[in-house]
Amino acid sequence: MTVVGSRQLRNGMSCFVGIGIPSTVANLARNTHAPDLFLIYEAGVLGSKPYRLPLSIGDGELATTADSVVSVPEVFNYWLQGGRIDVGYLSAAQIDRYANLNTTVIGPDYHQPRVRLPGAGGAPEIAAHCREVTIIMRHTRRAFVSEVDFVTSVGLGPAANLRSELGFKGAGPVEVITDLGVLRPDPVCGELALVAVHPGVEVEEVLEQTQWPLQVSPSLSITDPPTDEELAVLRDLISRS
């Protein structure tokens, strides 16, 4: 999942990074095929080049290796809302068929939640303003739901013209990478479809782990397995963090 995610990043792109898998993905790319990837962390850190993987979004390591450190209003208003970011990475506790994401509460009543999650953070703005959004999360039946309990971050529907109605400039989610495979939205209606599975994963398994009747692309492919170099860099990154 991490390796496949890192392959989407092209050298010279600007990438808005959260802590956890997104940070690992971006730093893996920066240490393999995309050395000039421009990493932006929501703490206001621009152009960070961490040697270790940070535990927190505002680690000292991120700031001291950065080109520039700006205030939080500046990173959210000028950089993110200003449309400067090529790709943003998101994860979530729930995702629906239109890639709407929930990181707020599980359960039908916001005021009496079954599970209280951390909340929105920078996710709604990443979803709205980045040119493209890549979602990375584990593929489980609890997470891949027909309708999210709470829309923390806006995806691609149900209305097909949702994003342009809301005036969002970013294209929204273009890819969902999971531990089972890769989903991409239908270019017209925005519904996610399975376009690739990882080596050894059965389509049946993916369908079982998805609460809605998941469409499968007629040109379904199998992702390339991680190369030795990718695995070595990833192990090295993790070992020094």
Contact between 146 and other proteins by CB under 8 A: the answer reads: no
Q: Which is nearer to other proteins, 41 or 209 (CB)?
A: 41
Tell me, yes or no, if 208 is annotated catalytic: no
Q: Which of 42, 61, 175, 230 is catalytic?
A: 42
DSSP string, 197-208: E-TT--HHHHHH
User: Containing H/E element for 64?
Assistant: helix 60-64
Closer residue to other proteins, CB minimum distance, 121 or 216: 121
Is residue 109 a contact point for other proteins (CB under 8 A)?
A: no
For residue 71, state whether it binds other proteins (rule: CB under 8 A). Answer: yes
118 binds other proteins (CB under 8 A): yes
| Cα(68)–Cα(146) distance, integer angstroms | 42
Other residues' Cβ atoms within 10 Å of the Cβ of residue 216: 15
Stretch that binds other proteins, among 36-44, 132-140, 199-207, 231-239 (CB under 8 A): 36-44
Give the side-chain half-sphere CA count within 13 A for 146.
Answer: 3
Among 97, 129, 139, 198, binds other proteins (CB under 8 A): 129
Cβ at position 199, least distance to other proteins in Å: 30
What lies within 8 Å, CB to CB, of 176 at 6+ separation is 95, 99, 134, 135, 136, 137, 182, 183, 184, 192
> Is residue 181 part of the contact set for other proteins (CB under 8 A)?
no
